[in-house]
Chain A
Amino acid sequence: MANDADEATDEALMGRVAARDRAAYAALIDRYLSPAAAFAQRMLGHPSEAEDVAQDAFIKVWIGAATWDEGRGKFRPWFYRLLYNAAIDHLRRRLPPGADGLDEVVDPADCPETTAAAALRRRQVKGALEQLPERQRAAVVLCYYQGLSNREAAASLEIGVKALEALLVRARRSLAETLLPIYEQG
């Protein structure tokens, strides 16, 4: 029989987290830890920084649950807003390249790729994403990788849907300009 926390909505779980229910908090962690770490990793480009950001956001969920107001919207865009803000804070505090060792190549064992060609392609896509302005990158990561609707992604970035669509169009044009010539080479 499934645990009732497994079937509860995110918002219902938040209501229980507000009452300091650690089982509800654990259920939210189980739902969102992997997506949160993936979002942060694609925003920042480094797994350990991504874990710091995910941790920051979850701690804010625990602390902020007391003031959670279900009437102000859904949990998912709110949570991604926390993640986005934590990622941006992290980027602002970042040391110059090389000073913190974060520009080291990611250990291939951390990734599912097995071939050098796939690893190269991954680095090219990662590099192209990192070249995008932060909000364009966030828009692509939220909509394309995280699967948020345009409305949810716009709420996460605290902008209108039209503004989000404009960010997405510009981001995809830039990515296509950078990456498609590589794709056409084979």
Chain B
Amino acid sequence: MTLDELETLIAGHGARRERWPDEARRRADALIAASPAAARLVAEARALDGLLDSYQVAAPSPDLRARLLSAAMPPVAEVMKFPAKTHSPIAFSSFWPQAAALMAASFVGLWLGINIVSVPLFNEQDLSGYVLGNDGDVIASLEEGQP
């Protein structure tokens, strides 16, 4: 084993010998025994592992599990499936009349909404010949013969 191979071994498995694969450990031990540079490499790697171990992180919040489970609903595609047997003539025959009726009702509602809102409540032209009171009621006519 070379120094580079030892460095790769440590990078992949850490500096603890017990984590190294058996065959690699035997070869690494031989190198470490024979090479001060290899022994230094392992010592530095152990020191680095000790520092890395000091970076502990917070546990996830207790409600995260519950949030994940509550979010686990069937996908929208499954809930909103089109009528299950749309390929069946029977399903077509029962679906399309209902859909057409719904669309027609929607158009009628839309038309009424537009037209009712746009129709004036009274025509000011028609009241031009009358005297109106404060409350808007007709109290006299400017034309003869009218109340």
Contact = CB atoms under 8 A, between A and B. Distances in A.
A185 to B, nearest CB: 12
Question: Interface residues of A toward B: which range?
Answer: 35 or more
Contacts, number: 108
Contacts of A12: none
B142 interface: no
Contact of B48 (A30, A50, A180): A180
B99 interface: no
**Chain B interface residue number, banded:** 20 to 34
B58 A41 contact: yes
Interface in A128-186: 129, 140, 143-145, 150, 164-165, 168-169, 171-172, 175-176, 179-180, 182-183
Contact of A47 (B47, B50, B57): B57
A122 B14 contact: no
Interface of A: 20, 22, 25-26, 29-30, 33-34, 37-38, 41-42, 47, 50-51, 54-55, 58-59, 62-63, 66, 106, 110-113, 118, 121-122, 124-126, 129, 140, 143-145, 150, 164-165, 168-169, 171-172, 175-176, 179-180, 182-183
Interface of B: 7-8, 10-14, 44-45, 47-52, 54-61, 64-65, 67-69, 71-72, 74-75
